[in-house]
Amino acid sequence: MMKYGINGLSMFYAPIESDFEVTSKLGYEYLEIWWPKIGDYLKNHTLSDLAADFKRYGVKPANLTSIEEITFRDKAGKKELEELVHQTSEVCQAVGCPLLEVVPSKMIPGLTRQQIVDETADVLNELSEIVKTYGIKLSFEFVGAKAYTVNSLELCLEIMKQVDSTYAGIVVDTFHFHNSKSPIDLIRQAKAEQIVLVHLADGEDVEVSDLSGDKYRLLPGDGVVNIRDILIALRDVGYKGVASFETIRPEHHKMDPMELASQAKEKVKALYSDLVEVH
């Protein structure tokens, strides 16, 4: 059975200290670390403190999210990317976080499908060489919007044929999957080891063209996304990792973090407890 968690991004304005308190009090087993919160934390703490906080609150790190626009960078951009991967991987290593999330770049006019596949595979393999020295793995999330180079699970699976899955895997976000308009049976073409993380989110019945569409995210069960069948397909391929609630809806970010996390947990517990283990 999948394990339940929450992304610190969902509790947008709260510091990571608040994330720990919320997840611990509500019985969340896993927390995704939202990278921007780490900078503020390290102004007055160390990475050892962060590792100790995870143990003190009884919460496990699931993923560090995220490094954006990893493909089609110029020379300076590639150097910046490598430095950031080293920096974030160091955090992952220090706290025992197994995954570092990376996201594809926006579409550039004139790119062919093969160019996208080759470039993305090359970059993932290059970054894999970095993260493996820290004992972690890349989590690659496609964005279900036409504005992005990799916008479907189908394309992800094609790319992964050229990538060493020992050090890189796919994030299936239910909101993005729905917006990619892919058939749910496509998930069953994946191998369990290729899927490393699931993001749980529902959404409104609207056309999403870019990441601004994240404002249409809803709590699980409140929208048109067929979350149940997506989770069933993931179960059928043998996925038993973390399913983490993620919202980027402005109204959700303005909510009290404890109330938001509580509502999300109760939704998942009521609707998907046969598929996701909720404590």
pLDDT tens digit sequence for 111-143: 999 999 999 999 999 999 999 999 999 999 999
Buried b / exposed e over 34-52, threshold 16 CB at 10 Å, is bbebbeebeeeeeeeebbe
- Tell me, what's the pLDDT at 214? 83
Determine the pLDDT at residue 140: 98
Within the chain, where are the H helices?
Answer: 16-26, 35-41, 47-57, 75-95, 113-131, 153-160, 174-179, 227-236, 250-253, 257-272
Q: What is the pLDDT of residue 212?
A: 67
Report residues of the chain scoring pLDDT below 50.
none
Q: Look at residue 82 in the predicted model and tell me its pLDDT.
A: 98
Question: What is the reported pLDDT for 164?
Answer: 86
pLDDT computed for residue 119 by the predictor: 98
The whole-model pTM stands at 0.96
Residues 218-244 have pLDDT tens digits of: 999 999 999 999 999 999 999 999 999
- Give dist(CA 189, CA 170) in Å, integer: 13
Question: Closest Cα partner for 186 from 238, 230, 142?
Answer: 230
Domains by residue range for the chain, with CATH:
2-277 (3.20.20.150)
pLDDT for residue 208: 78
Give 177's contacts (C-beta < 8 A, 6+ positions apart): 144, 153, 187, 225, 230
Using alpha carbons, select from 269, 270, 272, 275 the residue that is nearest to residue 27.
269
Q: Mention every residue, 6+ apart, whose C-beta is less than 8 A from residue 250.
A: 215
